[in-house]
Structure 1
Amino acid sequence: MLYQVEMTVLLPTDMPEAEMAEIKAREKAYAQDLQRQKIWRHIWRVAGQYKNISIFDCRDNAHLHEVLTGLPLYPWMKMDVVPLCRHPSSIHEDDR
């Protein structure tokens, strides 16, 4: 099942740089692993903001919840989730 997830990161301004760098490094590794597994299908940065719009391909709602709560930046994120379904006019076979 496909989901559109809009993620806004709201890190505390007083977070130490070293801690922030370590969390961001873990986040990048986790996100890239999910992309290799074809779970995190697309990611786009929203220009000028610490925000992205992503497409996830998960088995179900519980799987998506597991994936999202596993993000190292999860405690500092505001998320909006929209379940998606294939549009009948789409010519792309992988739009399930």
Structure 2
Amino acid sequence: MLFHARMRVRLPHDLDQDTADRLKELERQQAQELQRDGRWRHLWRVAGEYANISVFDVGSPDELHRLISQLPLFPYMDVEVTPLARHPSAISDDAAFDEPGS
């Protein structure tokens, strides 16, 4: 199942810088691991915000919830999730996500 997620990070202004840096590094490692195993299919930065747009490929909404809620920055995130379904006019499984010229 595919899911679109918009995740906005809102770190507290009084969060210790070392703690923030450690959480960001752990988040990066976990995100890259999930991308490598195919569950985090796409990860895009939202320009001008501490936010991302992501596409996840997981077995169920419960699996997605577990995955997102285990992210190190989750306590500081606002997350909006939308389930996705294949559009009948799409010419490939990833038509909406292919890089231009590919």
TM-score normalized with structure 1 length: 0.95
Alignment of 1:1-96 (within 5 A): 1-93=1-93
| 2:88 alignment partner AA | P
Q: CA deviation at 1:90?
A: 1.0
RMSD of aligned residue pairs (Cα, Å): 1.1
Q: Distance in 2 between the 1:94 and 1:44 partners?
A: 15
| 1:39 alignment partner AA | R
Q: Distance in 2 between the 1:34 and 1:94 partners?
A: 18
**Which stretches of structure 1, 4 residues or longer, exceed 2 Å deviation after superposition?**
none
Extract unaligned runs of 5+ from structure 1.
none
TM-score normalized with structure 2 length: 0.90
Q: CA deviation at 1:3?
A: 0.3
Q: How high is the sequence identity, in percent, across the aligned residues? A: 46
Q: CA deviation at 1:93?
A: 3.3
Q: Distance in 2 between the 1:40 and 1:4 partners?
A: 10
Number of aligned pairs? 95
Extract unaligned runs of 5+ from structure 2.
96-102
Q: CA deviation at 1:51?
A: 0.5
| 1:70 alignment partner AA | Q
